[in-house]
Amino acid sequence: MTGENRGQAATTALVEWGPLLFRGIVAVLLVPAGATKLLNYGSSASQFAELGIPVAGVMVLFVGVVELLGGALVGMGVAGRLSAVAVLPIMVVAIALTGPHVSSVAVVLGCLGIAVAGTGKLSLGEPSDQVATYLAGKLTSG
């Protein structure tokens, strides 16, 4: 195998398997964060209030559910792009309020990667891909 072929094979592998890495990072970081917010509701609401977040109690529930479900859906590759895009504003606000922690930045980069590249190999399904396939079939069948 020539150097050019090896480089091409590596690029192909990255394109095919890179989204799985993004999904894993996002899921591993978000699911526990969301669960912690929901399980420790009182202390999480107090932390949100200290940060100046309005209606802290409601926002803890909202953020906790989005992180928990969004992280799980991204991890499984179900509606991954939609879930990744839903998580992004929450993470941007978190970074703006608490600073750029490694985990927050990793989630943002992972979500951006999923939003651009899709969910990749071993995903359970991307509704937008299914709709596009269906429409393409209808358009080409006449």
Taking the C-alpha atoms of residue 49 and residue 26, their distance in angstroms, rounded to an integer, is 26
Residue 95's CB is within 10 A of a number of other CB atoms, namely 15
Taking the C-alpha atoms of residue 86 and residue 18, their distance in angstroms, rounded to an integer, is 20
End-to-end CA distance of the chain: 43
Residue 136: what pLDDT?
Answer: 54
* Statement: residue 87 has pLDDT above 80: yes
Domain that holds residue 131: 3-140
Each residue's pLDDT tens digit, 95-108: 999 999 999 999 99
Asked if 75 and 49 count as a contact pair (C-beta separation under 8 A), the reply is no
Each residue's pLDDT tens digit, 17-65: 788 999 999 999 999 999 999 999 999 999 999 999 999 999 999 999 9
Asked if 66 and 107 count as a contact pair (C-beta separation under 8 A), the reply is no
Q: Against a cut of 0.85, is the pTM above it? A: no
* Statement: residue 137 has pLDDT above 70: no
Q: Using alpha carbons, select from 135, 34, 118, 24 the residue that is nearest to residue 75.
A: 24
Asked if 66 and 87 count as a contact pair (C-beta separation under 8 A), the reply is yes
Residue 8: what pLDDT?
Answer: 73
Residue 121: what pLDDT?
Answer: 79
* Statement: residue 9 has pLDDT above 80: no
Q: Using alpha carbons, select from 64, 91, 71, 2 the residue that is nearest to residue 30.
A: 71
Count of domains in the chain? Answer: 1
- Average pLDDT on 126-138 reads 56
Read off the tokens for 96: 């703006």
**DSSP secondary structure code for residue 122 in this structure:** T
Q: Using alpha carbons, select from 97, 32, 90, 38 the residue that is nearest to residue 64.
A: 38
Asked if 118 and 126 count as a contact pair (C-beta separation under 8 A), the reply is yes
